[in-house]
Structure 1
Amino acid sequence: MSDLTDVASELYGRPPGEFTAARNDRARQLRTAGDAELAAAVKALPKPSAAAWLVNTMVRHLGEPVAGLLELGATLRQAQDDLDAARLKQLNKDRRALVAAVVRQGSALAADHGQKVSAAVAGQVEATLNAAMTDAGAAAALRTGLLVEAMTASGLGPADLDGVLAVPEAMGELSPAPPTRRKKGKKSEGSKRTTGKAAGPDEDERAARDERAARAATAKAQEELEAAETRAVRADDALAEADAAVQELEANELRLRSELEELRRQMHEREHELDRNERALTKAEKERSTARRRAEDATARADVARGELDRLRGPRAR
């Protein structure tokens, strides 16, 4: 599968808009070269989601921030195994700050590649980074740079990696050796006694039961914290969207008010123009009436003069 991993590494480093065409071209080249099996495997590679593409791109271009994030995740998991509550509290605070910073860097990186990161995609990227910090398997999957879907993890439990990798076999090459866990042994009351007797089975069972209960309580508290942080992020996103909507509506209101003022100004001018036209019309109608009377008088006088002329001409004509 190393050949498929190499091809996938090249394809999943491309911008989202180029992936499908590049994948199909590569599969066609392999088929032409006679490698039908690899061609079919390449053709079956799924296009990554927007969040998966961004995380893959961050792995390729933000090496130090991503490595630092995964290193802090390993430290966090060790503190969890040690049941070190005080250290876990500080490490979780550091984790939140670091994840937020890396997500911001990823958003800027996406902008450099001509891609806009929505609040939903940023949330999926954050969930993927958190999963990689809380689960060693998710960390190995992230390091491949071959994610096709975002990852999620519940508290400090294992992440669901089903279907998140283009080439699952690639993770084996990058998976770290199982970490050495420091065992936190508990001395029994018997070991403290001057008699030097070893702890009995009851004491060992109680110690193991207490440790399991402490682990469960810590895991539950961590899960509740993760859920609260997720709700806070979603609330912040909703607030940002609401702010943007308000700003857009306020800008639209200003535009409409400006247009309305312009229309009112034009209406005021038209009213004055109409008033002037009405006064001119009244005057013109009066002048027309006067002109009509004068024309009628002149016509009547002309008729009288014509009759008088005809009368004077009459005897001569006879």
Structure 2
Amino acid sequence: MADVSDVDAITRELYGLRPDEFTAGRDAYVARARAAGESVAAKQIKALRKPTLAVWAANLLARSEADQTRRLLELGQALREAHRTLAGEELRELSHQRHEVIAAMAGQARRLADEAGQPITEGAQHDVEQILHAVLADPDTAQTWAAGVLAKPPPAAVGFENLEPAPGTAAPRTKKRPPTAPVATGAPAPGPVQADTREEKRARARVDRTSQEYQEAEEELALAEKELTRSRARLEPLDQQIATLQEQLQTAREQHSHYATEADTALRRQQRADKKARTARTAAEEAQKALDELHRGKRRR
């Protein structure tokens, strides 16, 4: 166990426990800290909140899969950089990679949870995906998650809309020029400088168009993810209800088996008792007959 004054070490230890073990472990450290006179540490430890299953599974993934964790952090950095520089083609490629990586990692988190003896539902697996999306968008969340000490689900990430483009990457707004006089017949064609200006405008227009397409795609994706979240939220209570009913059915089956065994035992006891009762009744009848015969013999004498 960690030293009661080392709150960081205690935090790492507690968030490595399963959720059903967290509260007991935290309270034990609080009691130890208070007994040692570490009132500040006790207060800080007491404030640690129990993680949800999804948060715990995300932490478990970060602790167990160092290579995948590093890969996701690098992907997040690349996505943020591509957004700042308005690199449209790179953004599309990284966004596609982002969804593939997150889906695979969320599936791995669910498998790790099963192996740890704390299975999670499909809805919780989706929540893990949302956590990983937030990890990609926010460096602070990424560092907390990578340390395996995420305490609560981070705010849902909607694309990378909070990142400002790097200076010089956005197309500058140009002022409208007043109309020029018509070019006289026989005037020389526009020179190289004018051609370069037109090419620059076309390049900037492509950047604007690509960035706009990316932003619209991100917004469409965000709406789809929100709808999926709402659908999963409606589905999860039904999953829990099914799990509860299955547990109740299993309990009922076990009770039925127990009572059936008791009934069989009681039936055998009843049959034995009935046999003894019949034997005793026969013996009593025979004894009564013998007694009656004896009385009749006395009377004859």
TM-score (norm 1): 0.56
**1:101-250 pair list within 5 angstroms:** 101-106=108-113, 108-109=115-116, 117=118, 119=120, 127=127, 130-134=130-134, 135-136=137-138, 137-147=140-150, 149-154=151-156, 156=158, 196=198, 198=201, 212-232=215-235, 235-250=238-253
Which residue matches 2:7? 8
- The CA deviation string for residues 275-296 of structure 1, in whole angstroms up to 9 with x for no partner, is 2222222222221222223344
Q: Percent identity?
A: 16
Q: 1:254 to 1:130 in 2, by over 3 A?
A: same
- The CA deviation string for residues 56-77 of structure 1, in whole angstroms up to 9 with x for no partner, is 5664555344444555666787
**1:33-48 pair list within 5 angstroms:** 40=40, 43-45=43-45, 46-48=47-49
Contact kept? 1:131, 1:152, Cα under 8 Å: yes
| Higher gyration radius (CA) | 1
Distance of 1:24 and 1:256 partners within structure 2: 44
Which letter does structure 1 place at the counterpart of 2:153? M
Distance of 2:124 and 2:9 partners within structure 1: 23
Distance of 1:277 and 1:43 partners within structure 2: 76
SS of match in other structure, 2:145: helix
- The CA deviation string for residues 111-168 of structure 1, in whole angstroms up to 9 with x for no partner, is 5xxxxx3758x96687356324333242233234444x3214436369xxxxxxxxxx
TM-score (norm 2): 0.58
Q: By how many angstroms is 1:247 displaced? A: 2.8
State how many pairs are aligned.
Answer: 251
SS of match in other structure, 2:12: coil
Contact kept? 1:156, 1:219, Cα under 8 Å: yes
Gaps of 5+ in 2: 15-21, 172-194
1:265 equivalent in alignment to 2:272: no
SS of match in other structure, 1:95: helix
Q: 1:25 to 1:54 in 2, by over 3 A?
A: farther
With a CA cutoff of 8 Å and minimum separation of 6, indicate the structure with the bigger relative contact order.
2
Distance of 2:296 and 2:79 partners within structure 1: 109
When structure 1 is superposed on structure 2, of 274-283 and 64-73 the one drifting more is 64-73
Distance of 2:239 and 2:100 partners within structure 1: 18
Contact kept? 2:57, 2:128, Cα under 8 Å: no
Which letter does structure 1 place at the counterpart of 2:8? S
Q: 1:63 to 1:231 in 2, by over 3 A?
A: farther
Distance of 1:99 and 1:108 partners within structure 2: 14
Contact kept? 2:106, 2:129, Cα under 8 Å: yes
Gaps of 5+ in 1: 1-5, 32-38, 112-116, 159-176, 186-192, 299-318
Distance of 1:104 and 1:66 partners within structure 2: 16
Which residue matches 2:175? none
For the aligned residue pairs, the C-alpha RMSD in angstroms reads: 5.0
SS of match in other structure, 1:44: helix
SS of match in other structure, 2:6: helix
Contact kept? 2:158, 2:222, Cα under 8 Å: yes
